[in-house]
């Protein structure tokens, strides 16, 4: 098979790494890719938001399956363009990607499906939104309706902060994404991520993980794209997973199908669990980054068979073979991230790190310059390890971190603290 993966982050490196291990994979192309991905795939420097360019690349390489990594091309309809041209694609249509691209849409679907979320209201005017916030009181959560690269959510401790966020969003800091604002009840509890594959009808549980969104240790400081993750997430017990499937995920998938916009791809449920009761925080319509890295580490080559079956509507009867192990990934970011960060610093020591089915360093924002790897993004490396226990995975991953020589980068030292 010839396979094309769209994206350039650690998520896509881990997907490429797992897919490439499957003997069915003849040729692997990643667009645009990065310095680490170039070791396992051919990188094609195209704009993945340009559906026509993606179709042209897929045609030129006689691609049998396209795997779409990030949400932006999905929301822009690139999967639709590929399907219209006859390609098999892992990833939802633009209509189904609304589950991530519009927070109000997700609330409407979940209300129709009876799936528990926070109490909510939507506004297109700042005055009415602020009036609602004053009536509800704090803490309260203010969200730009549309895609805002993970930055469109303000968890406000007081009414003044919430009102300031409303003014900023309607003032246009997120462009069109903030033309509507969703205000939600603050939910307490522990967050975790649950992934399922869905071919429009059949739902196949695909693992659990926990991310670390804050930049600082003990979950302090500003939000980031994610500073580290581990899988499985013990808070998602078998009982909680069954509850999430029955009350949240299956009703959502059925409602999407009923509306004529079936969901196909990976559905990522961000959950808040309090006293054994799970509520949905949000859906994403793609793998989490860095959660994907720990899932791929645990699953390896079978990922290709599963994603292909999903794209071809054959999930019924498929099973995921778990090894009963644990994986943990530490994100190394450039100094300054998530604010303005250093660029082009040299990363030393990569060549000395083990790369096997237990330990892998996935690249995110890296580029090769004159045979050397330099940091060109905010999140740069995902130092990932598997172990028989989470403690073993943790020790292996941090031993790799300590073997790197990169003064231009930093990481959190406490990834996994809730479970350890
Ligand atoms: P999102 O961009 O929707 O993932 O939101 C970012 C983060 O904000 C989530 O991971 C939660 O930590 C937090 N958050 C979002 N909505 C709520 C809510 N209703 N109650 C509490 N925390 C929330
Ligand atoms: N790690 C969080 C996300 O991918 O949205």
Note the pLDDT tens digit of each residue in 42-85. Answer: 999 999 999 999 999 999 999 999 999 999 999 999 999 999 99
Q: Give the distance (Å) from ligand 2 centre to CA of residue 352.
A: 29
* 153 pocket-lining for ligand 1 (C-beta < 6 Å): yes
Residue 2 pLDDT greater than 90, yes or no: yes
Q: Give the distance (Å) from ligand 1 centre to CA of residue 187.
A: 8
Among protein residues, the one whose CA lies closest to atom 5 of ligand 2: 288
User: Which atom in ligand 2 lies closest to the alpha carbon of residue 211?
Assistant: 1
Question: Among 104, 138, 141, which is best to mutate for testing ligand 1, by the most ligand atoms less than 8 A from CB?
Answer: 141
Cα 290 to Cα 392: distance, rounded to the nearest angstrom: 19
pLDDT for the residue 203: 98
- 179 pLDDT band, cuts 50/70/90, is confident
User: Which atom in ligand 2 lies closest to the alpha carbon of residue 284?
Assistant: 5
Among protein residues, the one whose CA lies closest to atom 8 of ligand 1: 153
Residues 263-291: tens digit of each pLDDT = 999 999 999 999 999 999 999 999 999 99
* 255 pocket-lining for ligand 2 (C-beta < 6 Å): no
* 349 pocket-lining for ligand 1 (C-beta < 6 Å): no
- Mean pLDDT value of segment 200-211: 97
Q: What φ, ψ does residue 231 adopt, rounded to 5°?
A: -145, 140
Is 250 buried (19+), middle (13-18) or exposed (0-12) by CB count in 10 A?
middle
**Range in 108-122, 150-164, 305-319 the model is least confident about:** 150-164
Cα 401 to Cα 347: distance, rounded to the nearest angstrom: 12
Instruction: Examine domains 190-311 and 326-410 and report if their fold is the same.
Output: no
- Mean pLDDT value of segment 352-376: 95
Question: Among 157, 222, 281, 291, which is best to mutate for testing ligand 1, by the most ligand atoms less than 8 A from CB?
Answer: 281
Fold classification of 119-185 (topology level): Dna Ligase; domain 1 (3.30.1490)
pLDDT for the residue 198: 98
* 12 pocket-lining for ligand 1 (C-beta < 6 Å): no
Q: Give the distance (Å) from ligand 1 centre to CA of residue 133.
A: 17
What's the CATH code, domain 2-92?
Answer: 3.40.50.20
pLDDT for the residue 96: 98
Among protein residues, the one whose CA lies closest to atom 2 of ligand 2: 288
pLDDT for the residue 413: 97
Residue 406 pLDDT greater than 90, yes or no: yes
pLDDT for the residue 129: 95
Among protein residues, the one whose CA lies closest to atom 11 of ligand 1: 281
pLDDT for the residue 147: 86
Cα 132 to Cα 122: distance, rounded to the nearest angstrom: 10
User: Which atom in ligand 1 lies closest to the alpha carbon of residue 184?
Assistant: 19
pLDDT for the residue 420: 87
User: Which atom in ligand 1 lies closest to the alpha carbon of residue 150?
Assistant: 2
Beta-carbon neighbour count of residue 44 at 10 Å?
18
* 141 pocket-lining for ligand 1 (C-beta < 6 Å): yes
Q: How many residues does the chain have?
A: 420
| CA–centroid distance for 209 within its chain | 11
Percentage of the chain lying above the pLDDT 90 cut? 94
Q: State the SS3 of the chain.
A: CEEEEEECCHHHHHHHHHHHCCCCCCEEEEEECCCCHHHCCEECCCCCCCHHHHHHHHHHCCCCEEEECCHHHHHCCHHHHHHHCCCCEECCCCCCCHHHHCHHHHHHHHHHHCCCECCEEEECCHHHHHHHHHHHCCCEEEEECCCCCCCCEEEECCHHHHHHHHHHHHHCCCHHHHCCEEEEECCCCEEEEEEEEEECCCEEEEEEEEECCEEECCCEEEECCCCEEEECCCCCCHHHHHHHHHHHHHHHHHHHHHCCCCCEEEEEEEEEEECCEEEEEEEECCCCCCHHHHHHHHHCCHHHHHHHHHHCCCCCCCCCCCCCCEEEEEEEEECCCCCCCCCCCECECHHHCCCCCCEEEEECCEEEECCEEEECCCEEEEEEEEECCHHHHHHHHHHHHHHCECCCEECCCCCCCCCC
Fold classification of 326-410 (topology level): 3.90.600
**Per-domain residue ranges for the chain?**
2-92, 119-185, 190-311, 326-410
Residues 330-346: tens digit of each pLDDT = 999 999 999 999 999 99
Residue 372 pLDDT greater than 90, yes or no: yes
pLDDT for the residue 177: 78
* 382 pocket-lining for ligand 2 (C-beta < 6 Å): no
Percentage of the chain lying above the pLDDT 70 cut? 100
Among protein residues, the one whose CA lies closest to atom 2 of ligand 1: 150
pLDDT for the residue 27: 98
Residue 151 pLDDT greater than 80, yes or no: no
Question: Among 266, 291, 329, which is best to mutate for testing ligand 2, by the most ligand atoms less than 8 A from CB?
Answer: 291
- Mean pLDDT value of segment 233-238: 95
Among protein residues, the one whose CA lies closest to atom 9 of ligand 1: 281
- In 3D space, the residue among 232, 242, 234, 230 whose CA is nearest the CA of residue 278 turns out to be 242
* 73 pocket-lining for ligand 2 (C-beta < 6 Å): no
User: Which atom in ligand 1 lies closest to the alpha carbon of residue 186?
Assistant: 20
Among protein residues, the one whose CA lies closest to atom 4 of ligand 2: 288
* 191 pocket-lining for ligand 2 (C-beta < 6 Å): no
End-to-end CA distance of the chain: 41
What's the CATH code, domain 190-311?
Answer: 3.30.470.20
- 391 pLDDT band, cuts 50/70/90, is very high
Residue 178 pLDDT greater than 80, yes or no: no
């Amino acid at each position: 098979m010839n396979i094309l993966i769209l994206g350039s982050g650690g998520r896509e490196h881990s997907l490429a790494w797992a897919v490439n291990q499957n003997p069915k994979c003849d040729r692997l192309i990643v667009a645009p890719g990065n310095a680490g991905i170039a070791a396992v795939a051919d990188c094609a420097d195209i704009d993945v938001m340009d559906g026509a360019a993606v179709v042209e690349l897929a045609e030129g390489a006689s691609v049998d399956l396209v795997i779409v990594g990030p949400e932006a091309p999905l929301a822009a309809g690139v999967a639709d363009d590929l399907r219209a041209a006859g390609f098999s694609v892992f990833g939802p249509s633009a209509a189904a990607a609304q589950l991530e691209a519009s927070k109000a849409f997700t609330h409407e679907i979940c209300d129709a499906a009876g799936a528990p979320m926070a109490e909510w209201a939507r506004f297109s005017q700042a005055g009415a939104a602020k009036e609602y916030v004053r009536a509800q009181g704090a803490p309260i959560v203010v969200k730009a309706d549309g895609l805002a690269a993970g930055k469109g959510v303000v968890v406000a401790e007081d009414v003044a902060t919430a009102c300031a966020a409303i003014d900023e969003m309607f003032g246009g800091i997120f462009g069109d994404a903030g033309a509507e604002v969703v205000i939600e009840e603050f939910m307490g509890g522990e967050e975790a991520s649950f992934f399922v594959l869905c071919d429009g009808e059949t739902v196949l549980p695909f693992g659990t993980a926990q991310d670390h969104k804050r930049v600082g240790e003990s979950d302090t400081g500003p939000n980031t794209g994610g500073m580290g993750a581990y899988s499985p997430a013990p808070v998602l017990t078998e009982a909680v997973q069954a509850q999430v499937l029955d009350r949240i995920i299956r009703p959502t998938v059925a409602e999407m199908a009923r509306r004529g916009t079936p969901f196909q791809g990976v559905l990522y449920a961000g959950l808040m669990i309090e006293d054994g009761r799970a509520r949905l925080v949000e859906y994403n319509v793609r793998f989490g980054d860095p959660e994907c890295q720990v899932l791929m580490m645990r699953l390896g080559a079978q990922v290709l068979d599963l994603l292909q079956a999903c794209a071809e509507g054959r999930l019924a009867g498929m099973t995921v073979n778990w090894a009963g192990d644990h994986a943990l990934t530490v994100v190394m970011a450039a100094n300054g991230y998530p604010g303005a960060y250093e660029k082009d610093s040299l990363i030393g020591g990569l060549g000395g790190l083990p790369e096997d089915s237990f330990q892998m360093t996935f690249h995110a924002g890296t580029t090769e310059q004159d045979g050397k790897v330099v940091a060109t993004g905010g999140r740069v490396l995902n130092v990932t390890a598997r172990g028989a226990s989470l403690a073993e995975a943790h020790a292996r991953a941090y031993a790799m971190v300590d073997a790197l020589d990169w003064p231009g980068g930093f990481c959190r030292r406490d990834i996994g603290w809730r479970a350890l």
